[in-house]
Structure 1
Amino acid sequence: MMFVCLPGVYAVRPDTEILLASLEAEHVPSGARVLDLGTGTGALAVAAAARGAAVTAVDVSRRALCSAFLNGLLRGRRIQVRRGDLFAPVRDRSFDLIVSNPPYIPAPGAPSATLGDRSRSWDAGPAGRDVLDRLCRQSRRMLAPGGVVLIAQSSVADVARTCTLLRRSGLRAEVVARSRGGFGPVMRGRAPWLEQQGLIGPGTREEDLVVVRGARE
């Protein structure tokens, strides 16, 4: 399925696709309140809206929000868009399902804030955890009873830590999807640095794309 993707917006990639498959496996009743954090093109938001959910898409990028709104409009689905950092634009609400494909690629410097620089869609600090840690710690308070959060990430960014932080927050956490594949262009370009940091073994050029599910009892 093709999506409008304005310049500087993270396009649909294999991590998006594995998260879409996990979303499809969830029971999302009509009228369910769904939050798509870091929506990008809005592919996940559109998929949830197609199942009758009331969807809110959040991103720091205006171009991403425009892309998400347009992709919903082109498919006859209305998506509410909000600009801001993680849960800030919706802090007074709760959701039945939260989906997020956040930045998770380790980077030697701080994420870029430059307009149109796509690197801010994937750069996530020296361990790749700058956004993941915050997401794991804050998700539970945004979930309604029985709610679920689905998070996509790479094995390079410490999947075990994601599960641990979700459990510490009071969620039941497990890996529900995993796909092995070669590094993308960004990870390949950083492979020598990743080796130096001890984040991958010598010569490693593959990663697991993983979806972690956290459930509020």
Structure 2
Amino acid sequence: MNPLVPPGVYAPQEDTELLAGALSDEPLPQGAEVLDVGTGTGALALEAARRGLRVTAVDVSRRAVWAARLNAVRAGLPVRIRHGNLFDPVRGESFDLILANPPYVPAPDGSGRPPHGAARAWDAGDDGRLVVDRICREAPDLLRPGGVLLLVQSALSGPDLTVRCLRSSGLKAAVTRRRRIPFGPVLRGRERWLRERGLLPAAEDKEELVVVRAELPV
């Protein structure tokens, strides 16, 4: 069943599919606790719930929260869905797995203000790390021993830096999946700016997506 995608809610795309593949590789027992941050339509949360996992989903967009709740009802799957900014609604809780498909596209807005509307799903500051860095800082405190963070991002926003940041927090981290895809409408619209910034080589005509896997040692 395809999820309903209201206007202004991020539709599942190649990054969602890549992260879903990484989720399928994780040998989690039934009843394991999973957190899906930036859930959007709830597509990844529902994938986890189908495996018998106990899933909490969070999104800063009220429209996305509404969509995720509706999609969970349509699928007949129990998912706890909360409105809030990243980890704020789950402070004090811990999880066996955290899924994160955050905004990660560099954005040519020098105002320093957070993006608004639908752009919150992809715009992430001039280096694409506005939310990724916060996840790197805060996710380790929400993982149980042996717990895993799976994060998808673009190669344009520094996956090597993500790996280093997570390792500095004591996690074992590495890029475990890669996929090259044609530019979508957002990247096509700012291709010239990305090349001028040196974030996109002159001959590059595709975007690389990666999944970073980080595990808290037991």
TM-score relative to the length of structure 1: 0.96
Shift of 1:71: 1.2
Aligned to 1:175: 175
Aligned to 1:125: 125
12-21 or 177-186: which moved more?
Answer: 177-186
Aligned to 1:35: 35
Aligned to 1:20: 20
1:106 and 2:109 matched: no
Q: Partners in 2 of 1:147 and 1:201 — Cα distance?
A: 36
Say what the alpha-carbon RMSD is for the aligned residues: 1.0
The runs of 5 or more residues in structure 2 that have no matched partner are: none
Q: Partners in 2 of 1:176 and 1:67 — Cα distance?
A: 30
Shift of 1:22: 0.5
Aligned to 1:166: 166
1:186 and 2:186 matched: yes
Q: Partners in 1 of 2:205 and 2:5 — Cα distance?
A: 28
List aligned pairs for 1:134-149, cutoff 5 A: 134-149=134-149
Q: Secondary structure of 2:190's partner?
A: helix
Asked if the contact 1:30/1:52 (under 8 Å) is kept, the reply is yes
Q: Secondary structure of 1:130's partner?
A: coil
Q: Partners in 1 of 2:172 and 2:183 — Cα distance?
A: 30
Asked if the contact 1:111/1:119 (under 8 Å) is kept, the reply is no
Q: Deviations over 1:111-140 (max 9, x none)?
A: 422xxx211100000000000011011111
Q: Partners in 2 of 1:77 and 1:66 — Cα distance?
A: 15
Q: Partners in 2 of 1:204 and 1:54 — Cα distance?
A: 41
Shift of 1:27: 1.2
Q: Partners in 2 of 1:121 and 1:216 — Cα distance?
A: 27
TM-score relative to the length of structure 2: 0.95
Q: Secondary structure of 1:98's partner?
A: strand
Aligned to 2:58: 58
Q: Partners in 1 of 2:69 and 2:142 — Cα distance?
A: 23
Aligned length: 214
List aligned pairs for 1:147-158, cutoff 5 A: 147-158=147-158
4+ residue runs over 2 A deviation: 110-113
Q: Deviations over 1:6-26 (max 9, x none)?
A: 110000100000000110111
